[in-house]
């Protein structure tokens, strides 16, 4: 039988595929936990930011989540219809829309408290390994930031 040597173009040699597969599996692992809260994964990310800092503008929220307003606005509308957030024009600058948690949105936080620990257990990785992985992925993301991306973030 002929044995082929590994090629730089083999799927399993691609960092992008490893990241893609891990991302899909991570999102799938979150699904049952988030279903219990009636949240999708992107909605959960929005809620995480607002639980950390309530009252951000749509622009600030988009910057934190690295999402454009075309992607973020439908998420916010669904969260608003669910009664978890409110959106209102800022009094100080009516061009800016402020996003805030409702009482239900604040209460939902308690239901999400166990998710990070549960997900750490699902990974099978130690806290130290997870920290190194997170730092490495943030470094990778920063290194891949294009000049156009950095211009958009500063504006």
- Give domain status of residue 66, yes or no: yes
Q: What is the CATH number of the domain that holds 89?
A: 1.10.10.10
- Give domain status of residue 75, yes or no: yes
Total of domains in the chain: 1
Please write down the HEC assignment for all residues of the chain. CCCCCCCCCCHHHCHHHHHHHHHHHHHHHHHHHHHCCCCCHHHHHHHHHHHHCCCEEHHHHHHHHCCCHHHHHHHHHHHHHCCCEEEEECCCCCCCEEEEECHHHHHHHHHHCCHHHHHHHHHCCCHHHHHHHHHHHHHHHHHCCCHHHHHHHHC
CB-based contact 49:43 (threshold 8 Å): no
Which pLDDT tens digit goes with each residue over 24-68?
A: 999 999 999 999 999 999 999 999 999 999 999 999 999 999 999
- Give domain status of residue 102, yes or no: yes
- Give domain status of residue 116, yes or no: yes
Please give the residue range of the domain that contains residue 87.
14-124
Which pLDDT tens digit goes with each residue over 115-154?
A: 999 999 999 999 999 999 999 999 999 999 877 665 555 4
- Give domain status of residue 150, yes or no: no
- Give domain status of residue 151, yes or no: no
pTM of the model: 0.85
Tokens 């929005």 belong to residue: 46
- Give domain status of residue 57, yes or no: yes
Tokens 């978890």 belong to residue: 84
- Give domain status of residue 111, yes or no: yes
């Amino acid at each position: 039988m002929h044995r082929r040597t590994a090629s730089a173009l083999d799927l399993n040699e691609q960092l992008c595929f490893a990241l893609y597969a891990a991302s899909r599996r991570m999102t799938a692992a979150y699904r049952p936990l988030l279903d219990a809260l009636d949240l999708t994964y992107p909605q959960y990310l929005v809620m995480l930011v607002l639980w950390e800092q309530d009252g951000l503008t749509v622009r600030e929220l988009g910057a934190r989540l690295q999402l454009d307003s075309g992607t973020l606005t439908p998420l916010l509308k669904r969260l608003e219809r669910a009664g978890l957030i409110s959106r209102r024009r800022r009094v100080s600058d009516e061009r800016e829309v402020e996003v805030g948690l409702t009482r239900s949105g604040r209460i939902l936080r308690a239901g999400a408290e166990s998710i990070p620990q549960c997900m750490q257990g699902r990974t099978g990785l130690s806290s130290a390994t997870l920290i190194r992985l997170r730092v490495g992925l943030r470094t990778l993301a920063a290194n891949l930031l294009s000049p156009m991306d950095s211009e958009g973030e500063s504006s």
